[in-house]
Amino acid sequence: MTNHTSETEFKSLCEGKLFFCDFPELAVDDEILNEKLVKYNNEWNAQKRMEIFKTIVGHVGEHVKMIGPFYCNFGRYISIGDNCIINFNCTVLEGGPVTIGNRVLIGPNCNLIGISHTTCEKIRNYGACTALGKPIVIKDGAWLGAGVIVLPGVTIGKNAVIGAGSVVTHDIPDDMIAVGSPARPIRKVSEYPDWTPDQRDVPLN
C-alpha cells in the first residue's frame, strides 16, 4: 500500500520542488516494487507476466504487449493506453506522471527519464539524494525507435516518430519525424490514406 510520506514527496516533485530520497517510508516502497519487478522480469508465462505488470503500473489499457525486462522507480504514476507495444529493456523513471497514449510503439532499450538533479553539488548530495522532476507525455500513435532517451518535461506529439538513438530534450510536434541529439524535427511522417493490408510492397520511409 502506498504511504502518505512518499505521496507527499512525489507531489513536491511534480510541482518542481526538490524531492528528498532519504526517508524510511520510501525504502519500504522500494522493497515492495523491487519484489514485483523481479517477479515480472523472471516470469516466462506471458499471461502471468502481464498480471504482475498490472500491479506495478497505475494503468494498463487493452491489448498491450510488454516484452521484458522492464524497470521503473515508482510504477504507480505510469499510464499506458490501448494497443501499445513496449519492447525489451525499457526503463521509466517517474519524476511526474508518465502518460503513454494509445497505439504507441516503444523500441528496445528506450529510457523515459522524468527525473533529474541540480548542478549544485551541495544540494544534489544533501542526504542520500535530492531530485527534480517533470512529467512526460507520449501521445497516440507515436513510435520511439531503439535506444531513444526522453528527458523530463517532454511531450512527443501524436503519430510522431523518433529516430533510433535520439535524445529528446524538447517537445516534438504531431506528425513529425525527429532525429539526433538533441532530437530535431526533420520532416513530416509518411501518409498512405488508401493503404490496405494486402498492399505489402509499401516502401519503408
117 an active-site residue?
yes
State the Cα–Cα distance between residues 73 and 204, nearest whole angstrom. Answer: 36
Tell the burial category of 194 from Cβ atoms under 10 Å away from its Cβ (0-12, 13-18, 19+).
Answer: exposed
State the Cα–Cα distance between residues 150 and 171, nearest whole angstrom. Answer: 10
Q: Which residue has the cell 521484458?
A: 68
The CA distances from residue 56 to 36, 38, 49, 122, 155, in Å, are 7, 11, 11, 33, 23
State the Cα–Cα distance between residues 133 and 115, nearest whole angstrom. Answer: 4
Do the Cβ atoms of 61 and 101 come closer than 8 Å?
A: no
Catalytic residue among 4, 59, 63, 117: 117
State the Cα–Cα distance between residues 42 and 135, nearest whole angstrom. Answer: 29
Q: So which residues are the catalytic ones?
A: 117
